[in-house]
Structure 1
Amino acid sequence: MSKICGVAGIVALLLSSTVACSVGGAPDRPSALPGVPTSAQERNILLPAHGALLGHYYGAGTVEETDARDGRKPAIHLTYHGWSDDWAADPVTLADFADGRTPLINWEPFDVSFDDIINGKLDQTIEARAEGAKALGQKFFLDFAAEMNEAEGWGGHVPDKYVAAYRHIHDIFVARGATNVVWTWCPNNTDSPDAPPAMAYYPGDEYVDWTGIDGYNWGTSDEDFEWQSFREVFAGIYAKLAVVGKPVIIGEMASDEVGGDKAQWIDDVVPTLKSDFPLIKAVVWFDVDKERHWQINSSAASLTAYARMAKDPYFNP
C-alpha cells in the first residue's frame, strides 16, 4: 500500500487553491479548519471548532453503563433504522438531543426498490420522514444507504440508480423545509469485487455535507484477512474523498484483538488523524461483539487505551 503522506500533501495544495477564491473571485478568509472550505464552515453542518468529534454505537451495554465504563459521553450516537421506521420520533433520538448527543441516523432501505424511490411511489414515506426531521428543530447527521459499494449493494450496485434515489430523497427533505439535516454519504473502505468503485456512487457536492468511511481492522482470525493499522484501513479511500474537499466522518470503525496489538491500534488513532487525515472531523466506534471482537472492552488493555484516547484534547473540541 502506498503511503498517504504524499497524497495528502498534493491534496492539501489543491484544496488551498480551491479555498483561496470565492465564486466572485474575491479571496475568502483563511480556513479555520485545515482542508475544509470556508463556505462549508460558515454553514452549520456540525463541524467541530478543532480536532474531531468522537461517536459511539452502543452494542455492548446501555448508554449509562458504557459512558461510565469509557469515562466520557460521546458527541455522536449512531443508531440504525429500517426504511419505514419513524426515527425522528424514536425515544432514543429524542433522548440523544436531551442529553447533548448528536444523532447519526443510519437509514437502511432493506427490501426497498430504488426504482420505486425514484419514480415517486414511496414519496409518502419520504415526506413523513422529512416532516419528522424538520420537527426535531436541531441539526443531526443522516446517513442514507451506507456502504453502497460493498455487500449491501443498495440499488443493485447500479450507481446511477443509487444517485438518483439519494437525490430524490434529499430534494424532498429540502422542499419540506428539513434544512436541519446534515447529509452524510458513507461508502465502505473497500469495494465489492467486480462492482463499481465507491466514488461512482457519489451523489454530488450539492447533495452531500459530509463524506464518510466505514472500515475495520479484521485481524487474522480468518486466513483471508491480515492485520491492518488504523492508517492502512482508511488511507486508500481517504485519498479519494480528500479530493472532494468535504469533511469526513468515519461512520463505523473498530479493531479485532487477534493478530496484533489492539491497544496500540487505538493509541495510533489520534496521531494518525493529525498527521495523515486532517479532513476526518468525526469518528464513530462500533462497540459490539459481532463478526469480530469489536467491543472497546474486549481486553483490559484495549479499554484503557480507548479511555485514554477519549480524553485526548483532539476529541474534546
Structure 2
Amino acid sequence: MTAVIASNVVLGSTASAGEEVSNGTFETSTTGWIATPKDDGSAPVALARVAGGHTGSYAARVSNTSAAAATTVLNDSPNSVPSTTAGLTYRATAWLRASQANTSLVLRLLQFDASNVLLSSKQSYHWATDTAWHQLTLDVVAAKSGASIDVNALAWDLGAGKSFLVDDVSVAPLATTTTPAPPPPPSPTVSGVLPAQGTGALFGYYGSGGADPTSMETKIGRKFDLIHHFKDFDATNNMWPTSGMLSQAAAGRTIHIGWEMVSYDGGYDSALQPAPGASSYDRSGNAQKTWTYRQVTSGSLDRYLDAVANKVKATPSAKFIVDIDPEMDDRPDIGGTAKIRAAAGTRAEFAAAYRYIVDRFRARGVTNVLWAWTVSGWTATDPSKAWSLQQLWPGPNYVNVIMWDPYNHKATNWRSFGQMVAPFYNSIRGGLLDPVDVTAKKLPFGLGEYGCIADPRRPDWLKAIPSQARLYPGLVSLGYFNSGSWGALGDSASVTAFGTAGKDAWFHTRW
C-alpha cells in the first residue's frame, strides 16, 4: 500500500470537525454513492449493498457488468468534503476486497476548486494477491479554502463479471502542526559528463549482451560518448566498475550503469549481503530473485553498497551515470510487465531506497557519479497511470538526469524520432512531477534506451535524429539500444545511417 503524505506536516489526532463521509458503512443503504464506469465512460458497472461487510453486516459491491476487463469506480455523490480549509490535512481510509486475486485496489482523492477545476489527484493502491480485506489510507492537503474533495474507491482493469467490495470509508481532517521541512542534501554535479541543455547531446550505445563497442565504432567512423551496461546486485558477479568499464572510461567514454537490484543467477556474497528477499518473473518469464527496497533502507545491504562506492571512488577519472532499477514504473498493477520490480516493494519504498543509496555514496565521498531516474515512460501520458511516477520520484536534489526508454516499435504506427520523444518530454517539462518536486522539470533529460524496428524507412529515421533532437533542448544524452526486435541494427543501410547521425555537430565527444 502506498500513501502520499506531505513531508512537512506532523499528523495528530482527528480534529473536532469529525467525520466527513455521511454513509461509509453501507449498513442501511448505498445512499451518497454511485457506481461509475472507467473514467472515459466506456464500460457499464453496477452498485449493490450486500452482506459480508468488513465490520457490521453489509458492504458496497461494485461490479463490472461489461464483457471485457474495465476499471470500475465507487464514487461519492455529492463529494464527501464540500468545502475545505486551506492547508488542512484530510485523511481518508477505506477497506477494499476483491472477488479475484491479482487485482489492483485503489483509494483516490480528487480535489476540485469552486469552478470544478481539478487541483490535485492522489492515489493509494494495493496489489491484492488474495481476496481478503485490505485497508488503504491516503492524506491530502487542501490547496485552498472552499475546494471540495471527491472520494473514489476503484479497481483497475477489473475482470469481466468480477466485483470488489468497499466498507468503512472515512474522511476526516487532522490536527496539523507545520514545521519547516529539513533542507535537502546538496546535489553535486560531475563536470565533463553532460553537455549544457540546448548545446548538444551525448552519442550513446548499448551492444547486444554488453558487446565490445569498438566493432560498431569502426563501422560508423566515430567513438561513442557513452556506453551502457547492466549490472545486478550480486557481489559475486564481478561488481562494477569492472576492468572492461574502466578501459572504456579511460578512452574518454562515460559509463552508464543500469543497476538492477536482482541477482541474475541467484547468487550472493554472504560476507557482504543478505540473500535476496523476494522473487518473481522477468519479462521473459524466467524466475528471478531480487533484493527488496526495504532491505536497502534497513541497512542490511550497507556493506555491499560501501564496497561498490569505495571501488567507484578509487577511480576518480572514470565518470558514471547510474540508474537504480530502471523501468521501475512498468508495473503489473497498471498494465505493465515488470513483475520483478513490484516484488521488490512499493513505489514509495523504491523512492526511499533510491535516496538511501545516493546518500550512502555521497557519505563515502563519491563525486564521479551522476544519478539517473530511468523509467519506461509510457505511463506519463495516461492520466490514469501518471500518478505512479509522482510516487516513484525520490525528491529534490537526488536526481541529476531524468531518462526514459522510448521505441519506434510498430510499423503500423510509425513515429518519427521527435514524435517518439515528445509525449514523455512534454509531460515532464509541463509539470507532471510538480506536485512532488517543482524543480524536476528543469533537469536535463536523456534516453536511457531508444531504438527503431527494422523497416525500409529506418535509415531515413536514423539520419533525421540530429535535426529532430535539436527541437528538444533538454535532451542531452541518447543511448541507442542495439539489441532485440525493437532496435537491433542488422542491416548495413541502418548502420551507415546511424554513423551519419553520429557525425552530426550536435554530437560531440568532448564537453
Q: Same fold (TM over 0.5)?
A: yes
| CA distance in 1 between partners of 2:498 and 2:404 (Å) | 20
What is the aligned counterpart of 1:67 among 193, 217, 237?
A: 217
What is the aligned counterpart of 2:480 among 256, 262, 285?
A: 285
Q: Which range is displaced more, 176-185 or 199-208?
A: 199-208
| CA distance in 2 between partners of 1:41 and 1:265 (Å) | 36
Structure 2: runs of 5+ lacking an equivalent: 1-185, 263-289, 331-336, 432-440
8 Å Cα contact 1:127/1:176 also seen in 2: yes
The answer to whether 1:305 aligns with 2:497 is yes
What is the aligned counterpart of 2:338 among 152, 156, 174?
A: 152
8 Å Cα contact 2:255/2:320 also seen in 1: yes
Residue in structure 2 matched with residue 188 of structure 1 by the alignment? 376
- Give, in angstroms, the shift of residue 80 of structure 1: 0.6
| CA distance in 1 between partners of 2:480 and 2:354 (Å) | 25
8 Å Cα contact 1:102/1:141 also seen in 2: yes
The answer to whether 1:48 aligns with 2:195 is yes
The answer to whether 1:125 aligns with 2:304 is yes
Residue in structure 2 matched with residue 246 of structure 1 by the alignment? 443
The secondary structure found in structure 2 opposite 1:55 is strand
- Give, in angstroms, the shift of residue 125 of structure 1: 1.1
Query: Which has the larger share of helix?
Result: 1
The structure-2 alpha-carbon separation of the partners of 1:201 and 1:254, relative to structure 1 and needing over 3 Å to count, comes to same
Bigger RCO of structures 1 and 2 (CA < 8 A, at least 6 apart): 1
Q: Which range is displaced more, 136-145 or 161-170?
A: 136-145
Residue in structure 2 matched with residue 179 of structure 1 by the alignment? 367
- Give, in angstroms, the shift of residue 271 of structure 1: 1.4
| CA distance in 1 between partners of 2:390 and 2:480 (Å) | 24
8 Å Cα contact 2:449/2:479 also seen in 1: yes
Residue identity in the other structure for 1:305: A
8 Å Cα contact 1:210/1:248 also seen in 2: yes
Query: Which has the larger share of strand?
Result: 2
Residue identity in the other structure for 2:353: A
The structure-2 alpha-carbon separation of the partners of 1:174 and 1:97, relative to structure 1 and needing over 3 Å to count, comes to same
Instruction: Report matched runs for 1:230-269 at 5 Å.
Output: 230-242=417-429, 243=431, 244-258=441-455, 261-269=457-465
The secondary structure found in structure 2 opposite 1:185 is strand
| CA distance in 1 between partners of 2:419 and 2:218 (Å) | 31
| CA distance in 1 between partners of 2:304 and 2:194 (Å) | 29
8 Å Cα contact 1:183/1:210 also seen in 2: yes
The Cα offsets for residues 55-97 of structure 1, whole Å up to 9 and x where unpaired, read as 1112286322111112111000100101124543412211112
8 Å Cα contact 1:127/1:172 also seen in 2: yes
8 Å Cα contact 1:216/1:254 also seen in 2: yes
Residue identity in the other structure for 1:272: Q
- Give, in angstroms, the shift of residue 158 of structure 1: 2.4
Residue in structure 2 matched with residue 11 of structure 1 by the alignment? none
- Give, in angstroms, the shift of residue 43 of structure 1: 5.7
Residue in structure 2 matched with residue 5 of structure 1 by the alignment? none
- Give, in angstroms, the shift of residue 45 of structure 1: 6.5
| CA distance in 2 between partners of 1:278 and 1:313 (Å) | 14
Residue identity in the other structure for 1:256: I
Residues matched between the structures, number: 270
The secondary structure found in structure 2 opposite 1:186 is strand
| CA distance in 2 between partners of 1:92 and 1:43 (Å) | 22
| CA distance in 2 between partners of 1:112 and 1:262 (Å) | 39
- Give, in angstroms, the shift of residue 263 of structure 1: 1.3
The structure-2 alpha-carbon separation of the partners of 1:56 and 1:43, relative to structure 1 and needing over 3 Å to count, comes to closer
| CA distance in 2 between partners of 1:78 and 1:87 (Å) | 15
Q: Give me the TM-score of the superposition, normalised by structure 2.
A: 0.49
Residue in structure 1 matched with residue 146 of structure 2 by the alignment? none
8 Å Cα contact 1:183/1:208 also seen in 2: yes
- Give, in angstroms, the shift of residue 235 of structure 1: 1.2
The structure-2 alpha-carbon separation of the partners of 1:40 and 1:167, relative to structure 1 and needing over 3 Å to count, comes to closer
Among the aligned pairs, what percent are the same residue? 26
The secondary structure found in structure 2 opposite 1:228 is coil
